């Protein structure tokens, strides 16, 4: 086999295996060269494409004309692939009668010697599609899952125009897969229909992506609106990243968008899959915190992501960091799902902690495994009530630090409008709130003479005293309008430092309208002042500030706030904020684009 050695400036890169499947010791990939994407672990060189064959290095190298043996890549160096050791408790796999435990084993019928079983996609009727690899050949076969732990392989699919293909997702009437046509180096995504064992109506998915880039391993969301896949695009954080595209009502696709740094690292991310309820995105990575090789991870999908999809994808500026707040931090699924070897292609049939399938080479070849959680007979049929703790704290006015008696404090699960606990502060502004232990919550506090604060916390296992909740008398609504716009805010509001917060602009206006309507009897008027940055003439910026205020006023009226309570003004660029010494011009200008709100209270 042709073996290419790349010698980047300042470092020496490891060679590709001399033959498909030759082992690379764990850790050999931890440092990448400027030829990002070349140094794949052995299973990528064998089976995660469809295959490039011996042309793999040419496609994953510097994307230029390469000499036959040696080449140096230009500066700068890409991010180094560094994984931190995973530190956690292994799942209990010992059968017992007093506590839940896990059973983990290969799927009978999908662990044949000499064949790599790479990925499994299960349909609601119990049938499955399995991606297999042997030597240079990669193909898909249908299977029947007689039980969650036993499968029967059936007919291999007709390859059609593909010499190698795999990773199907969707339904027989409309499925998506990755394929490599015969006699070409290109690997791309396609849609098709499955009739028996034959693919029909094969159509390439295109987002104006150069064919020289690698795109593979698609997964379709449960509602069919979002396709996530792995790709080696120039804007990646390093190695292969996960991207998503959204299907429009006319069948066209919008995107792709990088899934962001919560999911993608300077290492490789591969083989994504949604949970059936759309709340989790599972994938494999050799970065983040790591047991060894490629590990399985799960990242929560924020409900605001699906809300944006259902709203028809409101227009967003091209420079928005779109998905960053929409995917939570990647969580390693831990041992024994993960091992010092390679794990990939996770598939959950419910929550990730109930029934899970994946592929692993911990026994040599890649086999498909299952993990099933068992509840012993001694476990009560009705679950025990969740453990709770008490939160203690005080609510103060931000500007004067005086305690606020009678302020409302409530706790919500993330992005859930229904509170799970609420109370009001006593005469000293103090509160006590009983909430579930070890849970992510949003605390919302509000009062009549001031506005509100929303704080995201994670509760522990013991009663906790929290820092004071400080409610502002002057509220700065940083909807973060793009430059020169007044009617299309960015999705998430900015915090006081000009950074994106997890609060969607519509949620911020919902809370603002709620505060106004709840304490309407105390309110004579609400003054809104629009501010801009320093770009443009003073006259133009006065007009722009006024239009931004009008946008906020119209949104509040839509939420039931009486028009006569609202008075709008524009300061334009006349009240620019001080710029910090280490603050970039764009960051400073983002902070300057704001709407300032002040309550005018009724005279007692």
Give pTM, 2 decimals: 0.55
Chain centre distance of CA 220: 14
The residues facing 357 across adjacent strands are: 347, 370
Task: Please indicate, yes or no, if residue 89 is contained in any of the structural domains.
Answer: yes
Determine whether 26 is exposed, middle or buried from the number of CB atoms within 10 Å of its CB (0-12, 13-18, 19+).
middle
Least confident of 43-47, 151-155, 193-197, 271-275: 43-47
Question: In this predicted structure, what is the pLDDT of residue 35?
Answer: 27
| Residue 453 lies inside a defined structural domain of this protein | yes
Q: What is the mean pLDDT of residues 350-362?
A: 82
In b/e form, how buried is each residue of 275-284, taking b as 16+ CB within 10 angstroms? beebbbbbbb
Q: What is the mean pLDDT of residues 314-323?
A: 54
pLDDT at 507: 81
One domain for residues 230 and 272: yes
507 or 319, which is more confident: 507
8 Å CB contact between 57 and 40: no
Give the residue, 164 or 384, on which the prediction is more confident. Answer: 164
Specify whether 500 is located in the same domain as 422.
Answer: no
Instruction: Based on the fold, state whether residues 532 and 462 are members of the same structural domain.
Output: no
Predicted local distance difference test score (pLDDT) of residue 9: 25
- Distance between CA atoms of residues 531 and 575, nearest Å: 7
Residue 68 lies in a domain: no
Mean pLDDT over residues 441-460, rounded?
90
Residues 128 and 275 in one domain: yes
Shared-domain flag, residues 356 and 429: no
Do 463 and 498 have their domain in common? no
Instruction: Mark whether 435 and 494 lie in a shared domain.
Output: no
* Same domain assignment for residues 309 and 421: no
* Percent of the chain at pLDDT exceeding 70: 80
The answer to whether 587 touches 498, Cβ cutoff 8 Å, is yes
Give 554 or 102, the one with higher predicted confidence: 554
Residue 206 has pLDDT above 80, yes or no: no
**Tell me, what's the pLDDT at 491?**
73
Is 32 part of any domain? no
Split at pLDDT 50, 70, 90, the class of 527 is very high
Q: What is the band of 79 on the pLDDT scale with cuts at 50, 70, 90?
A: low
Cα–Cα distance for residue pair 120/135, rounded to 1 Å: 19
Question: Phi and psi for 540 in degrees, rounded to 5?
Answer: -65, -40
What's the pLDDT band for 483 if we cut at 50, 70, 90? low
Question: Taking Cα atoms as reference points, which of 194, 191, 211, 215 lies closest to residue 202?
Answer: 191
In which domain, by residue range, is 531 found? 474-601
pLDDT higher than 60, residue 277: yes
If one compares 382 and 32, the residue with the highest pLDDT of the two is 382
Q: For residue 284, give the nearest of 567, 41, 487 by alpha carbon.
A: 41
Residue with tokens 């609420």: 422
Q: What is the average pLDDT score of the chain?
A: 78
pLDDT category, 34, cuts 50, 70, 90? very low
User: Do both 118 and 257 map to the same domain?
Assistant: yes
Return the pLDDT at 573. Answer: 92
Last residue of a domain, which of 425, 440, 471? 471
pLDDT at 211: 61
Is the pLDDT confidence value at 246 over 60? yes
> Distance between CA atoms of 186 and 171, rounded to whole angstroms?
25
Give the three-class secondary structure for 257.
strand
Work out the pLDDT band at 72, boundaries 50, 70, 90.
Answer: very low
Residue that terminates a domain, selected from 329, 352, 374: 374
Which residues, 6+ apart, have CB-to-CB distance to 208 below 8 Å?
Answer: none
What local confidence, expressed as pLDDT, does residue 587 receive? 83
**What distance in Å separates the CA atoms of residue 374 and residue 96, rounded to the nearest whole number?**
9
| Cβ-Cβ contacts under 8 Å for 176 (sequence gap 6 or more) | 168, 169, 170, 189, 190, 191, 192, 205, 218, 220, 227
Question: Hey, which of 72-81, 316-325, 348-357 has the most confident mean pLDDT?
Answer: 348-357
- Does residue 192 register a pLDDT over 60? yes
**Are 253 and 274 in the same domain?**
yes
What is the mean predicted confidence (pLDDT) over 179-184? Answer: 80
In a domain, 43, yes or no: no
**Positions of E strands within 388-494:** 388-397, 408-413, 421-424, 430-436, 440-446, 452-458, 464-465, 469-471, 474-477, 492-494
What mean pLDDT do residues 92-106 have?
82
Which pLDDT score is estimated for 469?
A: 94
Query: Binning pLDDT at 50, 70 and 90, where does residue 488 land?
Result: confident
CATH number (domain holding residue 128): 2.115.10
Question: What pLDDT, on the 0 to 100 scale, is given for residue 46?
Answer: 37
Query: Of 18 and 265, which is predicted with more confidence?
Result: 265
pLDDT tens column, 404-433: 999 999 998 876 778 899 999 999 999 999
Note whether residue 536 is domain-resident: yes
List, for residues 547-600, the tens digit of each pLDDT value: 989 999 998 998 888 999 999 999 999 999 999 888 888 888 888 888 888 888
Point out the domain boundary residue: 471, 493, 517: 471
Q: Is 582 left (phi over 0), alpha (psi -120 to 50) or beta?
A: alpha
What is the rounded average pLDDT of the residues 7-34? 27
Specify if 23 maps to a domain. Answer: no
In a domain, 215, yes or no: yes
526 and 514 in a common domain: yes
In this prediction, residue 360 carries a pLDDT of: 94
Per-residue pLDDT, 351? 66
Rounded to the nearest angstrom, the gap between the alpha carbon of residue 541 and the centroid of all alpha carbons in its chain is: 36
Residue 182: predicted pLDDT: 76
Whether 107 and 159 map to the same domain: the answer is yes
Alpha carbon of residue 215 to chain centroid: 18
- pLDDT of 546: 92
**What per-residue confidence (pLDDT) applies to 408?**
94
Q: What is the mean pLDDT of residues 247-276?
A: 89
pLDDT in tens, 114-162: 899 999 999 887 789 999 998 888 999 998 887 878 888 888 898 777 8
The CB density around residue 547, as the number of other CB atoms within 10 Å, is 17
CA distances (Å), origin 416, targets 137, 387, 412: 48, 20, 6
Exposure of 23 in the CB half-sphere (CA atoms within 13 A)? 12
φ, ψ of residue 521 to 5 degrees: the values are -65, -25
What total number of domains does the chain contain? 3
């Amino acid at each position: 086999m042709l073996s290419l050695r790349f010698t980047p400036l300042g470092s020496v890169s490891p060679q590709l295996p001399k033959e498909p499947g030759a082992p690379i010791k764990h850790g050999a990939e931890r440092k990448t060269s400027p030829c990002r994407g070349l140094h794949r672990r052995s299973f990528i060189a064998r089976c995660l494409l469809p295959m490039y064959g011996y042309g793999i290095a040419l496609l994953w190298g510097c994307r230029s004309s390469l000499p036959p043996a040696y080449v140096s890549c230009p500066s700068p160096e890409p991010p180094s692939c560094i994984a931190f050791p995973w530190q956690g408790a292994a799942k209990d796999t010992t059968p017992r009668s007093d506590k839940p435990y896990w059973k983990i084993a290969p799927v009978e019928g999908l662990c044949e010697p000499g064949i790599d079983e790479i990925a499994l996609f299960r349909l609601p009727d119990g049938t499955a599609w399995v991606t297999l690899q042997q030597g240079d050949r990669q193909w898909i076969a249908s299977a029947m899952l007689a039980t969650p732990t036993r499968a029967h392989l059936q007919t291999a699919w007709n390859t059609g125009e593909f010499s190698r293909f795999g990773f199907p997702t969707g339904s027989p009437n409309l499925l998506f897969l990755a394929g490599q046509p015969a006699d070409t180096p290109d690997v791309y995504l396609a849609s098709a229909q499955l009739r028996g064992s034959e693919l029909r109506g094969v159509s390439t998915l295109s987002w104006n992506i150069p064919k020289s880039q690698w795109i593979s391993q698609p997964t379709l969301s449960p509602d069919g609106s979002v396709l996530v896949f792995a790709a080696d695009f120039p804007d990646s954080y390093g190695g292969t990243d996960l991207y998503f595209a959204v299907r429009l009502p006319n069948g066209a696709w919008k995107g792709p968008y990088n899934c962001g740094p919560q999911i993608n690292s300077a290492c490789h991310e591969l083989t994504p899959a949604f949970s059936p309820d759309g709340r989790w995105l599972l994938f494999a990575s050799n970065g983040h915190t790591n047991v060894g090789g490629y590990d399985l991870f799960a990242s929560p999908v924020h409900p605001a992501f699906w809300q944006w999809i259902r709203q028809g994808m409101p227009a967003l500026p091209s420079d928005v960091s779109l998905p960053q707040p929409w995917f939570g931090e990647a969580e390693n699924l831990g041992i024994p799902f993960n091992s010092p070897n390679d794990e990939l292609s996770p598939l959950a049939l419910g929550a990730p902690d109930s029934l899970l399938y994946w592929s692993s080479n911990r026994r040599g070849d890649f086999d498909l495994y299952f993990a099933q959680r068992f509840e012993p007979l001694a476990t009560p049929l009705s679950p025990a009530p969740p453990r709770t703790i008490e939160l203690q704290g005080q609510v103060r006015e931000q500007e004067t630090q005086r305690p606020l008696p009678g302020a409302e404090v409530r706790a919500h699960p993330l992005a859930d409008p229904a509170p799970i606990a609420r109370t009001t502060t006593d005469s000293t502004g103090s509160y006590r709130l009983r909430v579930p232990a070890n849970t992510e919550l949003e605390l919302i506090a509000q009062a009549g003479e001031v506005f509100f604060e929303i704080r995201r916390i994670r509760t522990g296992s013991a009663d906790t005293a929290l820092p004071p909740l400080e409610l502002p008398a002057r509220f700065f609504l940083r909807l973060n309008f793009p430059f020169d716009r007044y009617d299309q805010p960015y999705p998430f509001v900015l915090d006081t430092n000009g950074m994106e917060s997890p609060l969607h602009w519509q949620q911020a206006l919902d809370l603002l309208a709620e505060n106004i309507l709840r304490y309407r009897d105390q309110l004579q008027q609400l003054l809104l002042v629009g501010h801009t940055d320093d770009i443009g003439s003073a006259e133009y910026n006065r007009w722009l500030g006024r239009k931004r205020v009008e946008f906020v006023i119209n949104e509040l009226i839509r939420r039931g706030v009486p028009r006569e309570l609202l008075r709008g003004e524009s300061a334009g660029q006349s009240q620019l904020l001080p710029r910090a010494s280490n603050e970039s011009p764009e960051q400073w200008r983002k902070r300057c684009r704001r709407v300032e709100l002040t309550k005018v209270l009724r005279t007692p």
